[in-house]
Amino acid sequence: MLLEGRVALITGGAKGIGRGIALRFSEEGALCAIADVAVKDGEATAQEIEKKGGRALFLACDVTKIEQVKAAVEEAKERAGKIDILVNNAGGMRSEPPIEDMTEEEWDWTLALNLKSQFLFCKFVVPLMKERRYGKIINLSSIGAVAPPAHAIHYNSAKAGVIGFTLDLAYALARFNINVNAILPGPVKTFFYEPFIGSLDEKAREQFFDGIARSAVPLQRIGTPEDIANAALFLASDLSSYVTGVVLPVSGGIPLKPYKEMH
């Protein structure tokens, strides 16, 4: 197994992409520490991993609060003994107002969740990795950072910040044998879209996702958490030992144009 004996700390691992990563990593032998504010879902994900024969623990944590992040990292270290892999997955947005209507609170909340949280976890995990001269850090950005599909300036700006954060950290930590890379997911069918389609029935939801696939994705399908998890697995394993500072789109071909737009 690719992650046998490794300990992975996954933020936002209770649902969606983070849950997919936790399940995939556990299949490959990792002990998964899930840090999330969604207690019920996080505990359910940890229990699901254990029922399948894996190892997991749940850490209740608001990833935007420094004291809670520090406590979560300390608890993960105490209970698991080490942290080999950090997946900064937590993120999201609540709405897409035009810039002139966006409140300062909405801007600050979005940047805190999507960018500040990654800084906070790295602040406390990196010293542990430096001490052992080993580590894998995977930061989740978004294809919206380089090819915005909509005017979501708070979210896309935060995700663009993740790219800069990743490149800087990769350079700084290379001499400590710590690999730092970023994944840019394209459209993935998760709860991320709930603020926008929550009122739709099942048929309308499917039409919504089919519309995105046909109009925007060259591979003509919506991504799954498993698609992102498989890329994360490569970056978390020693298969990628000579890979650092990479910004990897896992986006079905976006920003390439769909074939029908060219003919």
Catalytically active residues, by annotation: 155
Residues 6+ apart with CB under 8 A from 158: 91, 110, 111, 113, 114, 115
Give the ranges where the chain is alpha helix by DSSP (H). Answer: 16-27, 39-51, 66-80, 104-111, 117-132, 153-173, 194-197, 202-216, 225-236, 259-262
Smallest Cα–Cα separation from 230: which of 144, 138, 147, 159? 138
1 C-beta neighbours (distance < 10 Å), count:
12
Reading the block at residue 100, the tokens are 């002139």
Residues 15, 189: Cα–Cα separation, whole Å = 12
Cβ contact 182:250 at 8 Å: no
Supply 213's token pair. 């696939």
